[in-house]
Amino acid sequence: MRGIFDLRFTFLFILILTCSNVYAEESVFSLNADEYFLFGRAYERLNMLEEAIKTYKKSIEIKPDFVKAYVNLGVAYYKLGKYNEAIDVYKKVVQIKPDYFSVYNKLGTAYILNGNYSEAREAFKKAVEIDPDNPDAHYNLGIAHYLNGDKMAAYKEYIILRDIDKKHAERLFDLIY
């Protein structure tokens, strides 16, 4: 039942946004950054990623330091396979909020999918620096080391992971060997 409600709620958001865009163009009223952000999320949930991108950009235009809007914009680009654009957006996030752990993981993943393994390694190193006990960060760093041809460094991440998260450690070991 909740799924149907969520879909109806999301549809209502889209309908309101469509109507509000018409009114906004006529200068009757305009949305604030948070409202555009919420509509972007609704579009994203409906897999209307190009529309989500437009609304996230509008949110950022209104509020240039809106970190959540940047992150979601990067995710939308990522989902579309536009890794260069996602990378650019994630880099902007770390300029605004340099200690944002999860963005370094997203940035590293986008670099990997873009074939830039050395940059991925640097992003994952930063994630580990921010949150040294996070298994995802160590796992991803191990993968980046491996893709850079450094099996020994990947193995060192495996050793660290054995104490943090055995499942991640086993997955990394299976990849390395």
Single-letter residue type at 102: S
Beta carbons of 56 and 69 less than 8 angstroms apart:
yes
Radius of gyration of the chain (CA): 19
Residue entry with tokens 């809007």: 69
Per-residue confidence (pLDDT) for residue 4, from 0 to 100: 55
pLDDT in tens, the chain (177 residues): 555 556 655 555 555 555 555 434 434 458 899 999 999 999 999 999 999 999 999 999 999 999 999 999 999 999 999 999 999 999 999 999 999 999 999 999 999 999 999 999 999 999 999 999 999 999 999 999 999 999 999 999 999 999 999 999 999 999 998
Compute the distance between CA of residue 69 and CA of residue 16 in angstroms, rounded to an integer: 19
Which structural domains are found in the chain, ordered by start?
1-78 (1.25.40.10), 99-177 (1.25.40.10)
Structural contact between residues 37 and 55, judged by C-beta atoms closer than 8 angstroms: yes
For the stretch 37-57, pLDDT in tens is: 999 999 999 999 999 999 999
Query: CA-to-CA distance for 53 and 75, rounded, in angstroms?
Result: 9
| pTM metric for this prediction | 0.82
